[in-house]
Amino acid sequence: MRNILLSVILSLPFLLNAQVETSKDFSYKISKPYQVIDGKRKVYFYKENQILSVKVIAEDVFIQKINSSEPALIKTNKEKLPENAVVESIIEFNNKYYFFYSLWDRPNKNEQLFYREINFENGKFEASTTKIITVNHHLSRIPIDNIIGFWGHGISNKFHFKMSGENSKLLIQYRYLREKRIDAINFDITGICVFNQDVEPIWNKEVKMPYTEKQMNFHDNWIDSKGNVFILATVYEDNRNHRREIPELEILKYQADSDTLFDLSGMDLNGKLITGIKFSESSKNQISFTGFYSEDPIQFQSNGLFMLDMDKKGNSRNISFFEFPNNFFVKPVDVQNYNTDLYYTEPPRPEMSDYKIVEKKTNKDGSVTILSEQQFIETITTYSKTGRHENHTYYYSDIVITKIDTDGKTQWMKKIQKDQFGYKGKGTMSFKYLSNDIYHYILFFDTPDNLDEQLDAEPYTYQDKKEAILFSYKISDINGEITKLPVLETESFNGLTLKQFYSDRIVILENNEFILEAYKKKKEDVLVKVRLSE
């Protein structure tokens, strides 16, 4: 490919079906190719027509500046981490950019957390290195994949980061590596460290959880503008068999000088069971939650969404339920007549289970948009002479987008069907979201088999990292009407074959635009800028 910047409106060459006309809905710009940096960790930040890309290969950190208007790579700077450093997180906090890494001090048996600030303008580390946490204990690894709960199967970092809503406080948590392997007798010890907007310490403490690992499942955590920390968990009274009881919902509140436990289960839920819950946007005087409820105590199949407000003393303020439409559900499986010899060892999962809240957005007029996605892990455990082995399959399925009007009523609720699975975490799965005052856009990669499928048809399955089409689902903000449009085909886009097109490599810009960075073979990456029409 010649090194010529393409900045013309393109029609998609793979679209031979006259039923779909994309030239009116999208315009494209393609950058000159540039040398690939094949790091396992790639993070992108956008500000004022520029993108800051941070890519990590072992102890080498490559910081790239990208002109998002052209688009074009401006420059690449290489920085160095200390030997044996482990990348913990790369975040934007209070309009600054931080690179956190940990180091194990073997002689003193200390786990240490450091940060380097990244200068957005020159794309380099600032001169100083700051150590902010020292722990005299081995730490357990904490998952960062959005599919997993706070403590889950994922193996990644040792520190968990959470910012308060207005970026005035930063929470960093860690967990001791457990000394006892039996969940029924092990009590987690977690470290809670709170920092101000300049990443200066405010308070910290290590606390022993009030329940055993078997009794307690973490769901989410949150920090408010005053530096109070909240941990949301379900708690089982029976320490032996969870199937015999419905868990209690509790909030553990921690601050510098006290610890408090709030029990949510006593709230009036009209006989409904909560199947999924997480912290969401809140005011200064209350805590807010968004999640799902169930009317089925056996399968815990989701029947709809709920929103719950609570004051910081644990008193319920308001709860609202938003029921799924009947057309969301499929016909129940006849378990007695189900043929288990064909594909499965047990009946398929309920259609409306395993939903997670992905995003909750308060709009300019006070209405609320909630996006959720079916996410779950299937684990197969095998045993051999070398020990116990676990194989995980990750599933990202249907999306539900809900608009709540200013009166607190359902304006519309829509389900977008998809069926994605893979073996190495998120990869090319899940979705990206952007919106304006007129439309919502949901972007995700899907199998070409679904190109001509209707919105209400059961979708063909897409496997992570296989040939894909990037689809855009355009949703009217007024009535929820959905239009499905293909954006680009990864196997044949303007003469390019795109690889490594991970969903997290889609960078949302302004003015209905986004950029996808992908590998184009010959050890080169390329930037594809797409503008969505209104």
Under the banding of pLDDT at 50, 70 and 90, the label for residue 52 is very high
Q: Is 89 exposed, middle or buried (0-12, 13-18, 19+ CB in 10 A)?
A: buried
| 100 contacts 88 by C-beta, under 8 angstroms | yes
Cα Rg of the chain (Å, integer): 24
Number of domains in the chain: 1
How much is the mean pLDDT over the chain? 86
CB neighbours of residue 292 within 10 Å: 27
Whole-number pLDDT of residue 208: 92
Q: Does the structure show a pLDDT above 60 at 247?
A: yes
Distance of CA 177 to the CA centre of its chain: 25
Domain contains 386: no
Q: Which of 139-153, 320-334, 351-365 has the lowest mean pLDDT?
A: 139-153
Question: Could you give the 3-state DSSP secondary structure of residue 467?
Answer: coil
| 143 contacts 154 by C-beta, under 8 angstroms | yes
Domain contains 290: yes
Domain contains 1: no
Would you put residue 84 in left (φ > 0), alpha (ψ -120 to 50) or beta? left
Average of per-residue pLDDT across 11-21: 36
| 197 contacts 210 by C-beta, under 8 angstroms | no
Containing domain of residue 306, as a range?
Answer: 274-323
CB neighbours of residue 258 within 10 Å: 8
| pLDDT tens digits, 155-168 | 358 999 999 988 99
Cis geometry, peptide bond prior to residue 247 (ω within 30 degrees of 0) = no
Residue 507, amino acid: V
CB neighbours of residue 333 within 10 Å: 14
Whole-number pLDDT of residue 150: 43
Q: Which two tokens stand for residue 428?
A: 């090319």
Euclidean distance between CA atoms 331 and 35, whole angstroms:
51
Q: Which of 229, 277, 227, 271 is nearest to 249 (CA)?
A: 277
Whole-number pLDDT of residue 267: 65
Residues forming beta bridges with residue 42, ordered by sequence position:
55
Q: Is 67 exposed, middle or buried (0-12, 13-18, 19+ CB in 10 A)?
A: middle
DSSP 292-341: EEES-TTT--EEEEEEEEEETTS-EEEEEEEEPPGGGPPPPP-TTT--TT
DSSP 147-195: TS-SS-S---BSEEEEE-TTSS-EEEEEEBPPS---TTT---EEEEEEE
Q: What is the pTM (predicted TM-score) of this model?
A: 0.88
Domain contains 283: yes
Domain contains 300: yes
Euclidean distance between CA atoms 231 and 149, whole angstroms:
12
pLDDT > 70: what percent of the chain? 85
Q: Which of 214, 219, 146, 147 is nearest to 377 (CA)?
A: 147
Euclidean distance between CA atoms 520 and 498, whole angstroms:
5
Domain contains 319: yes
Euclidean distance between CA atoms 69 and 356, whole angstroms:
34
| pLDDT tens digits, 501-512 | 999 999 999 889
| pLDDT tens digits, 446-461 | 999 999 999 999 999 9
Q: Does the structure show a pLDDT above 60 at 312?
A: yes
Residues forming beta bridges with residue 518, ordered by sequence position:
526
Domain contains 81: no
Domain contains 288: yes
| 506 contacts 516 by C-beta, under 8 angstroms | yes
